[in-house]
Structure 1
Amino acid sequence: MKMDIITMEDLKEFKTDFLKEMKEIIGQGNQQETTAWLRSAAVRKMLNISPGTLQTLRINGTLPYRKIGGTMFYSKAEIEKLLKGE
């Protein structure tokens, strides 16, 4: 059985790469990404719905989302599709 030894440098590099990727996903990496993902409050305001209705849309798969930490993020493109009825 082969064993690899992980050093502190390996962990630091992993942490740096991981944080960079997370920032890109949630839109802190660049300005264009910021408008591509919305938080729950912005989605509720945009659709004029209650938190319960938004939860129902998540549960039944009508509105896809990503959960990072404890925060839900929704694709602006998916919301626009929902509004157009596609």
Structure 2
Amino acid sequence: MPTSIVTTDDLMEFKLELLEEIQKLLEKKSGNISEKWLKSTEVMKMLKISAGTLYGFRTKGILPYSKIGGLIYYDLAIIKKTLTDNLIQNE
């Protein structure tokens, strides 16, 4: 069986490849969650509204939310449904 010498450069290259693969897996796995649940900042950006307006939507029950610790999450499907349900069509 032939022997090969592993250099520090080889180990560094392996480390970078391994980290890249782990990052891809994490992005793929967390991508499913972020497609369904949005943070407040994402909702404000998406709807082009202020933090105060979003707070008003929460307190008036317009947009339901989930709170974990100090973070608030909104269901993307509910946001889309709320927009559709409140669609105003000019006659």
Normalised to the residue count of structure 1, the TM-score between the two structures is 0.61
Aligned to 2:73: 73
Which 4+ runs in 1 deviate beyond 6 A?
none
Deviations 1:3-61 (Å, cap 9, x if unpaired)?
Answer: xxxxxxxxxxxxxxxxxxxxxxxxxx653222100000000011111100000000010
What secondary structure sits across from 1:81 in the alignment? Answer: helix
The structure with the largest alpha-carbon Rg is 2
**Identical-residue share of aligned pairs (%):** 45
State the match for 1:51 in structure 2: 51
Q: Give unpaired runs (5+ residues) of structure 1.
A: 1-28
* Greater helix fraction, Structure 1 or Structure 2: 2
Counterpart in the other structure of 2:62: 62
Gaps of 5+ in 2: 1-28, 87-91
CA RMSD of aligned residues (A): 1.4
How many matched pairs? Answer: 58
Q: Measure the CA separation in 2 of the matches of 1:50 and 1:31.
A: 25
Distance 1:47 1:30 in 2: 23
